[in-house]
Amino acid sequence: MSALLRLNDLCGELRPSPAASWDMTIDLSELATLYVDEHQRMRRMLIRRGMSAETASDAVQDAFLRLLAAKLAGIRDLRSYLRRSVSNAAVDIVRAERRAGETIGVDELEQEKLRDPAPLADATLVMREQIEALSRAIEMLPPRSREVLFLHKFEGLSYQETAERLGIAKNTVMVHMVKALGLLRSRLRAGDEATI
pLDDT (mean) for 16-23? 40
pLDDT band (50, 70, 90) for residue 10:
very low
Residue 87, domain CATH: 1.10.1740
Query: Which helix (H) or strand (E) segment is 104 a member of?
Result: helix 78-104
Task: Give residue 190's pLDDT.
Answer: 84
Q: Are residues 27 and 89 in the same domain?
A: yes
Total domains present in the chain = 2
- Please give the Cα distance from 54 to 56 (Å, whole number): 5
pLDDT (mean) for 18-42? 66
Nearest to 24 by CA among 73, 65, 74, 85: 73
CB of 91 within 8 A of CB of 81?
no
In this structure, the number of other CB atoms found within 10 A of the CB of residue 78 comes to 17
CB of 3 within 8 A of CB of 24?
no
| Beta-carbon contacts of residue 170 (< 8 Å; ≥ 6 apart) | 159, 160, 163
Q: Which of 110, 134, 156 is the last residue of a domain?
A: 110
pLDDT (mean) for 104-111? 55
21 pLDDT higher than 60 = no
Residue 175 domain flag: yes
Q: Which of 110, 130, 148 is the last residue of a domain?
A: 110
Q: Are residues 102 and 161 in the same domain?
A: no
Q: Are residues 26 and 86 in the same domain?
A: yes
pLDDT band (50, 70, 90) for residue 132:
very high
Q: How far is CA 59 from the centre of its chain?
A: 23
Q: Are residues 129 and 190 in the same domain?
A: yes
Nearest to 13 by CA among 54, 69, 63, 80: 69
Q: Are residues 75 and 35 in the same domain?
A: yes
Side chain identity at residue 194, one-letter code:
A
pLDDT band (50, 70, 90) for residue 62:
confident
23 pLDDT higher than 50 = no
176 pLDDT higher than 60 = yes
Angle at 194 between CA 190 and CA 196, to 5 degrees: 120
Average pLDDT, the chain: 77
Half-sphere exposure of 38 (CA within 13 A, CB side): 22
pLDDT (mean) for 100-118? 59
The parent domain of residue 158 ranges over 121-195
Q: Which of 85, 110, 135 is the last residue of a domain?
A: 110
pLDDT band (50, 70, 90) for residue 150:
very high
Residue 116 domain flag: no
H helices then E strands: how many in the chain? 9, 0
Task: Give residue 183's pLDDT.
Answer: 93
Q: Are residues 103 and 127 in the same domain?
A: no
pLDDT band (50, 70, 90) for residue 84:
confident
